[in-house]
Amino acid sequence: MTDERTAMRHALALAERGPATGVNPQVGCVLLDATGTIVAEGWHRGAGTPHAEVDALSRVPDARGLTAVVTLEPCNHYGRTGPCTEALIAAGVRRVVYAVEDPGRLSGGGAARLRAAGVEVTGGVLAEEVGEFLRPWLTAERLGRPFVLLKWAATLDGRVAAADGTSRWITGTAARQRVHEQRARADAILVGTGTVLADDPELTARGDAGELMPVQPMPVVVGERPVPADARVRRHPAGLVETRSRDLAAILRDLYDRGVRRVYVEGGPTLATALVAADLVDDYAVYLAPTLVGGDRLAIGDIGIPTLADARRLRLDAVERLGDDVLLLARSARAEGRTP
């Protein structure tokens, strides 16, 4: 006998098997019979493939009377696949238990549709854990722009470059490998034109041996100036996007419309400052090396804070040691629970 919280934890583990990138959320589902035994499991493998509920339903000959335990409220719209609500109703599922509501303007409303068809529905089971797991996707859906993770690598005194502009490499290999992992979990990488002109980065996600990872985020160069014809980022396998604009809110909206749900911002300081000042950063990944260079090349410039009492307050999520360096993961406190 599996209780519904335990079944939800199992569904969450299934959800984690799906791809973290892309337009669709990672969702898992298990089907329980009347004795609470798991009779099928399913998860979503990415846009265009069956949703978790439909995947689980396809693995039982007869779903009548079963309980579906699913991490996200079943969708209620025709996308590339049909609505999960209709599939659950047609299959004769008796009860649906979900963790978090689908905030999608088009896909939401599944619980109401199921109830109207006589299905017993309970939401909010393990909502905190699942909500945390799905936070980037949920944030993107609520705000209509991608989830923004801002990263920088700084010396212990907060400098991201030396007086002559050199910034490679501030951190060691373990930290740089962690950056590649973070790149691979994003749909797009953003940098300002200044960074492309100064560093000529490739912006690919690479493994330990320098090999390209199977999934490559799209590089987006933000700013009015053109990217030089011979810039390395022009040869990026995912194809370069040049915004030729500084309008960050419009750029993020446009990326959302292209299916981007997570962006990883790699600087430089001018772009980072503009994003922070405009309150467009959700999470921070700050790599700190135990070195000092002094000077004025700070990670963040003026963000309009006149006095300490007005300091932007972040919530520290984790601290990781990577060789001699440290990674601080923090989130923007006011981004929590924010609705559009």
Which active-site residues does the annotation give?
A: 53
Amino acid in position 88: L
| Segment interacting with ligand NAP, rule: CB under 6 A, options 51-59, 62-70, 161-169, 310-318 | 161-169
Task: Confirm or reject binding of residue 303 to ligand NAP (CB under 6 A).
Answer: no
DSSP reduced 3-state for 13:
helix
Please identify, using beta-carbon distances, which residue of 74 and 269 lies nearer to ligand NAP: 269
Task: Confirm or reject binding of residue 181 to ligand NAP (CB under 6 A).
Answer: no
Task: Confirm or reject binding of residue 293 to ligand NAP (CB under 6 A).
Answer: no
Task: Confirm or reject binding of residue 280 to ligand NAP (CB under 6 A).
Answer: no
**Cβ 196 to ligand NAP shortest distance, Å:** 7
CA dist., res. 188 & res. 167, Å (int): 22
Interactions with ligand NAP, residue window 218-257 (CB under 6 A):
222-225, 246, 248
CA dist., res. 54 & res. 35, Å (int): 22
**Cβ 299 to ligand NAP shortest distance, Å:** 7
Please identify, using beta-carbon distances, which residue of 221 and 335 lies nearer to ligand NAP: 221
Show the DSSP H helices in the chain as ranges.
4-15, 52-57, 84-91, 110-116, 127-133, 135-143, 173-184, 193-199, 248-257, 269-277
| Segment interacting with ligand NAP, rule: CB under 6 A, options 13-21, 78-86, 91-99, 162-170 | 162-170
**Cβ 163 to ligand NAP shortest distance, Å:** 10
Task: Confirm or reject binding of residue 192 to ligand NAP (CB under 6 A).
Answer: yes
CA dist., res. 58 & res. 50, Å (int): 10
Give me 81's structure tokens: 């696949």
The CA R_g of the chain, rounded to the nearest whole Å, is 22
Cβ(189)–Cβ(263) below 8 Å: yes
CA dist., res. 241 & res. 180, Å (int): 20
**Cβ 230 to ligand NAP shortest distance, Å:** 17
Q: Which positions ≥6 away from 87 have C-beta within 8 Å?
A: 53, 54, 57
CA dist., res. 184 & res. 19, Å (int): 11
Task: Confirm or reject binding of residue 121 to ligand NAP (CB under 6 A).
Answer: no
**Cβ 244 to ligand NAP shortest distance, Å:** 8
Task: Confirm or reject binding of residue 194 to ligand NAP (CB under 6 A).
Answer: yes
Chain residues binding ligand NAP by CB under 6 A are 152-153, 160-161, 165, 167, 170, 191-195, 198-199, 222-225, 246, 248, 266-271, 274
